[in-house]
Structure 1
Amino acid sequence: MAKTLKEAPITTASARSKLPAGEYARRLDADAAIWYRRGRRGGVWFARWRNHSAGANYLQAPIGPANDVNDKPTDGLLTFAQAEAQGRQIVTKARQDAKAAAAGPVLTVRLAVETYVAERDARDSRRKGRTVRSDAGQRLRRYVLGQGKRGKQEAVPAAPLANVGLHALKESDLLEWRKALPRELKGSTEQRLINDLKAALNGAYAAHRERLDPTLPAIIKHGLKAEKIDSEDAAPLARDNQILTAGQVGKLLTAARAVDTEGNWDGDLFRLVVVLAATGARFSQITRMKVGDVQRAQARLMVPSSRKGRGGKIASVPVPVGKDVLDALLPATTGRGNDEILLERWRSKQVPGSIGWERAGRGPWQFASELQRPWHEIRDRAGMPAVIPYGLRHSSIVRGIRANLPIRLVAALHDTSVPMIERHYGRWIADGLEDLAAAAVVPLLPKEGDNVVSMRRGQE
C-alpha cells in the first residue's frame, strides 16, 4: 500500500467540496488508510487495511458520515480528525484480534474466569475431601459468567465483560462492569468479588504472557483497584456491641455449656466456642487444629495459619491459653492420636422409613453455618441477642490492645497484619495510648506557699 496508494486532499471540508464523486484516501501507516467516499448526498468515512493473514487481501470497516460543511465537531457528523482517530482504533483492534486468533483460541475474560473457578473448586474440594463449589466460583458465576435458573433463584445472564478478549481489554471495560454491580451488594462481598476477578485475570496473563500485551497487568490493576473511602464515612470493622468484656465472654461460655448439655452435643459445641474465645482465631482455622496442637506443657494452642494471602506464612501460630481452657479440651485429647482432628461433632442420618434421626459417626466441623442455629440459642440464653461468633475474635484483638501488647504481637497472634489492626481497631489503639500518655503526666505548676522567686525583667 505504501508504494501504490495515491493520497488526496481530504483533511478539510473545503478541500473535499472540490472533489468529484469517488473514493479518496489518506494514509494512516504503511498498511492502512482512512478513506473518504463522496456521493451525491454527501460523503462517508471508512478504514481499509491489509489483511496479512490472507495474503494481499484488504479488510475495511465503516466509520461514519462526514461533516462536509465545516471542520467543527457536530453531532452525528465526523471531521477528518475525528474519523482519523476512530479509524486508527478500528485498525488497531482488528490487528490485535487477528494476532490473538493466529496464536490459537482467543483468550477471553470468560475463559480466564472459568479456568480460575475450576482451580478454586478443585482446591476447596481437596481440602474438604469431597466435591464442592468454591465461594469464589459462586460469586464469579453470578456476576461475570452468568448461570441458569436454580430452584427459586432466577437465571442470571452473563456480564458483557465475559466476552471481551484479554488482548482488547480496556480499563473502561472493568469500570463499566463495576458500575453495573447491584447497589445492594455488601461492600465486603463486592471487594471479594473484585479480588477474585483480579486473580483470574492476572493468572491468565501469567500463563499466556507471550500472547498478551505487556500493559494488561496495569489495566487490571487500575480498573479493579480498591476505591478510596472518605475518612468521614469510614467505620471500624468491630462495632462497640461486639467488644465483649471478660465477664460477657464468661456468660457466653456458660450458656454454651448449658446448650451443649441440653442438645446432647457431648461437649463438642462447648469446646468449639471455648477455642474460638481463647484464641480469637477464625472458624476455618480452629476446625483444622489437630490433637497435637494442644501443648499442655507449654500452656498454649498451635493454631493453623489461615489460607488467606499468597503464602509464605508459618504453619501455625502459638497462642498462650490458661489451664481452664486446657482442662476443657482434655476429653478431646485423651486417648487420641496427635494427627487426629481436635474438634469433631456427631453426624446424623435419617432412619429409613421414619422421620427420626440416628447418629452415623463423628467427623470434623465443616462449615461456619453449622454453628448458626446453636449460636442463636447460646446468645439468647446469655442475654446478648446481637453478638455474633466473630465478636469473640474482635474481643480477643481489643483485649490484647488494651493490655498494651505491641500491635505487631497482637497481629501475629491473630494471623493478620499490622495495617489491618490499625485500620479497623484504631479507636482502641488510641484509647490505650491515651492511658500510657496519661501515666506520663507530671505536675508542672508549683503548689501555693512554695518559695517562688520572681525574676526581674532584665534577668529573663
Structure 2
Amino acid sequence: MPDLSRIGDREKLKPKAGDEPHWHRLRQGVYLGYRPSKKTAGGTWFARFYDADNNRNKRKRLGDYGTLSGHDVFRQAKADAEVWAATVESGGELARSMVTVRDACEAYLEQKPGSIAEGVFRRHVYSDPIAKVKLEKLRRHHLRSWRKRLEQAPALVSRSKTGEKRWKERAKSTVNRDMVPLRAALRQVLEPGRPGSDAAWQEALKPFKGAGKPRDLYLDRVERKRLIDAVSDEARPFVKGLCLLPLRPGALAALTAREFDQRTRSLIVGKDKNDRSRQISLPKDTTDFFAEQVEQKPPASYIFVRSSGKAWAKDSWKRPIKEATKAANLPIAVCAYTLRHSVITDLIRARLPILTVAQLSGTSVAMIEKHYGHLVHDDSEDALSTLLLEDVD
C-alpha cells in the first residue's frame, strides 16, 4: 500500500485496472484514495469508509485539489476524507446532503433556529456566489472575495417617514459581527486548513483587530426618564424595560410571559446572544412593571409587543427611539444599546461585583472589564485614598 503523503511516491504511481484508486489507510475502516491521471500530471482523490453494519464500503470522490500544491494537497484531502467518514459513521446525513456553503448554513440554522445568523445568511450569503461553492472546493480565495463584497456592502441606517432608505459605509465592527455566523457554520463541517495555504479558508474570516468602538455615550437616570417620557405610547414599555435591566434589546424583545414569575419575582432570559438562559431576580418595582405588561397575556405571548401584536425588532425600535431622542434634546447618537450601556455603567458605579454584572447582562467578565474596567479603576483609586495616613495622629 503506497504512502500517499509522499509526493515522490504519488508521482511514481500508475493507473490501476478499472480506474481503481491507490488506497492509503488513515485509520481502521477509513482510507484515502488517489487515482493518477492517464494524460496529465496529478490525479483525483477519493475517500472510502467501511460500513460494518451493512458489510460494504462507501466511497466519495473528493476532487483533484487543483488550486493546491505540494504537501498541501495531501493535508487537505486527508482532512476532507476524515470529515466525510465521520459524518457517514454518525449516520451519514451530512455526507448525503451537505454539498455547498448554503447547505452548511442551513444545517447550522437547524441547530440554532431563529438566531441572528438567519438574517445574516439571508442578506449576505444566500444571494451571494459563495452560497453555491462546494464545501470540498472551498478555499481561502473564495472567502476573501466574499469578505470584500461584505465590506463594500452599505449598511442600512434608517428609513425616512416616506420609506426612503438611508445608508452608510459598513463599519469594521459590523463586518466582524456579520462574519461570525458563517465562520461558525463552516467550522461545524470543515477542518481548518493548513495555515498560510489557500486551503486555510478560516484565515479569510479573521476579525479586524481593534474594530470595536468604545462605549462612551452615557445617559444618566434623569436623561433616561426624559427619553421615556418623550417616546411614543406604543414604544414606552419596551424603552422603559431597557432602562430597568441590562439586557440587549433583542433579548428583551424575545421575552415571553411564561418567562416571568411574579410570585418568585424572577425573570428567565432564554434567548440571547450566547444562547444560554439565565435567571434574574427582580426588585419589587420592576416586578410590578413586568406584572402590568403580562396581565391577561397567554404564556407564549411576547411581554413587549407593538400595537400590531408583533414583537419589537431592530427595524421597528430604531425610529421611535430616534424621534424621542430629538424631542428630548438628547445626543443624536443615542440608540437602544445606549440604554444597556448606561444601565451597566450605573451597576458598576454602584460597586456591584463585576461577575454579577456580567451574569445579569449576559456577557463575560472579560468584556465587562474591557469596556467598563476604567470605572472600576476609578473606584479603586477612591478606595485606596481612604488608606492615606496624613491625618492619622
TM-score interval w.r.t. the shorter chain? 0.5 to 0.7
Measured at CA, do residues 111 and 412 of structure 1 come closer, stay the same or move farther in structure 2, by a change above 3 Å?
Answer: same
Deviation at 1:29, TM superposition (A): 2.4
State which drifts further: 186-195 or 381-390: 186-195
Matched letter for residue 320 of structure 1? L
* 1:284 corresponds to: 250
* 2:328 corresponds to: 382
1:245 to 209, 217, 220: 220
Matched letter for residue 14 of structure 2? R
2:279 to 317, 324, 328: 317
Deviation at 1:222, TM superposition (A): 5.1
2:122 to 128, 138, 149: 138
Given that 2:260 and 2:266 are in contact with CA atoms closer than 8 Å, whether structure 1 keeps it comes out as yes
* 2:341 corresponds to: 394
**Within 5 A, what are the aligned runs for 1:375-454?**
375-384=321-330, 385-443=332-390
Matched letter for residue 267 of structure 2? M
Given that 2:105 and 2:186 are in contact with CA atoms closer than 8 Å, whether structure 1 keeps it comes out as no
Deviation at 1:139, TM superposition (A): 4.7
Deviation at 1:288, TM superposition (A): 2.6
Given that 2:257 and 2:303 are in contact with CA atoms closer than 8 Å, whether structure 1 keeps it comes out as yes
Deviation at 1:420, TM superposition (A): 0.9
Matched letter for residue 286 of structure 1? L
Measured at CA, do residues 186 and 319 of structure 1 come closer, stay the same or move farther in structure 2, by a change above 3 Å?
Answer: farther
Given that 1:174 and 1:224 are in contact with CA atoms closer than 8 Å, whether structure 2 keeps it comes out as yes
State which drifts further: 114-123 or 419-428: 114-123
Given that 2:99 and 2:134 are in contact with CA atoms closer than 8 Å, whether structure 1 keeps it comes out as no
Deviation at 1:405, TM superposition (A): 0.9
* 2:26 corresponds to: none
Deviation at 1:383, TM superposition (A): 1.2
Question: How far, CA to CA, are the matches of 1:321 and 1:411 in structure 2?
Answer: 18
* Secondary structure in structure 2 of the residue aligned to 1:136: helix
* 2:107 corresponds to: 119
Matched letter for residue 175 of structure 2? E
Question: How far, CA to CA, are the matches of 1:59 and 1:196 in structure 2?
Answer: 42
**How many residues align structurally?**
320
Return 5+ residue gaps in structure 2 as ranges.
21-35, 43-65, 89-93, 153-168
**Within 5 A, what are the aligned runs for 1:142-153?**
146-147=127-128
Deviation at 1:248, TM superposition (A): 1.0
Deviation at 1:293, TM superposition (A): 4.0
* Secondary structure in structure 1 of the residue aligned to 2:333: coil
Matched letter for residue 107 of structure 2? E
Question: How far, CA to CA, are the matches of 1:281 and 1:138 in structure 2?
Answer: 26
Question: How far, CA to CA, are the matches of 2:258 and 2:245 in structure 1?
Answer: 16
Question: How far, CA to CA, are the matches of 2:310 and 2:193 in structure 1?
Answer: 47
Matched letter for residue 122 of structure 2? Q
Given that 1:287 and 1:366 are in contact with CA atoms closer than 8 Å, whether structure 2 keeps it comes out as yes
2:38 to 58, 72, 88: 58
Return 5+ residue gaps in structure 1 as ranges.
3-26, 34-48, 63-85, 148-157, 207-211, 348-362, 447-460
* Secondary structure in structure 2 of the residue aligned to 1:204: coil
* Secondary structure in structure 2 of the residue aligned to 1:318: strand
1:344 to 301, 305, 327: 305
Q: After superposition, what is the alpha-carbon deviation per residue over 1:412-450, rounded to whole angstroms, capped at 9, x for unaligned? A: 01011101111122222322222222233332797xxxx
Deviation at 1:250, TM superposition (A): 1.4
Deviation at 1:373, TM superposition (A): 2.1
* 1:367 corresponds to: 313
Measured at CA, do residues 341 and 223 of structure 1 come closer, stay the same or move farther in structure 2, by a change above 3 Å?
Answer: closer
Matched letter for residue 38 of structure 2? Y
**TM-score, normalising length: structure 1:** 0.56
| 1:272 aligns to 2:238 (yes or no) | yes
* Secondary structure in structure 2 of the residue aligned to 1:276: helix
**Within 5 A, what are the aligned runs for 1:12-411?**
29-32=8-11, 50-52=14-16, 54=19, 58-61=38-41, 89=69, 93=73, 111-119=99-107, 127=114, 134-141=118-125, 146-147=127-128, 158=129, 163=133, 166=136, 178=147, 182=151, 184-205=169-190, 219=200, 224-229=205-210, 235-236=213-214, 238-239=215-216, 241=217, 243-256=218-231, 259-260=232-233, 265=234, 269-298=235-264, 300-309=265-274, 311=275, 313=276, 315-323=277-285, 325-347=286-308, 363-384=309-330, 385-411=332-358
Larger of the two Rg values belongs to structure: 1
Deviation at 1:389, TM superposition (A): 1.3
Q: After superposition, what is the alpha-carbon deviation per residue over 1:291-318, rounded to whole angstroms, capped at 9, x for unaligned? A: 34444455x4514144433x5x3x3321
| Higher RCO (Cα < 8 Å, 6 or more apart) | 2
* Secondary structure in structure 2 of the residue aligned to 1:374: helix
Given that 1:291 and 1:333 are in contact with CA atoms closer than 8 Å, whether structure 2 keeps it comes out as yes
Matched letter for residue 379 of structure 1? T
Deviation at 1:174, TM superposition (A): 5.3
Deviation at 1:193, TM superposition (A): 3.3
Measured at CA, do residues 436 and 320 of structure 1 come closer, stay the same or move farther in structure 2, by a change above 3 Å?
Answer: farther
* Secondary structure in structure 1 of the residue aligned to 2:306: strand
Measured at CA, do residues 113 and 193 of structure 1 come closer, stay the same or move farther in structure 2, by a change above 3 Å?
Answer: farther
Deviation at 1:185, TM superposition (A): 3.5
**TM-score, normalising length: structure 2:** 0.65
Measured at CA, do residues 407 and 127 of structure 1 come closer, stay the same or move farther in structure 2, by a change above 3 Å?
Answer: same
* Secondary structure in structure 1 of the residue aligned to 2:307: strand
* 1:81 corresponds to: none
* 1:46 corresponds to: none
Question: How far, CA to CA, are the matches of 2:383 and 2:175 in structure 1?
Answer: 39
State which drifts further: 281-290 or 406-415: 281-290
Measured at CA, do residues 30 and 317 of structure 1 come closer, stay the same or move farther in structure 2, by a change above 3 Å?
Answer: same
Question: How far, CA to CA, are the matches of 1:393 and 1:278 in structure 2?
Answer: 9
Measured at CA, do residues 340 and 171 of structure 1 come closer, stay the same or move farther in structure 2, by a change above 3 Å?
Answer: closer
Question: How far, CA to CA, are the matches of 1:139 and 1:127 in structure 2?
Answer: 15
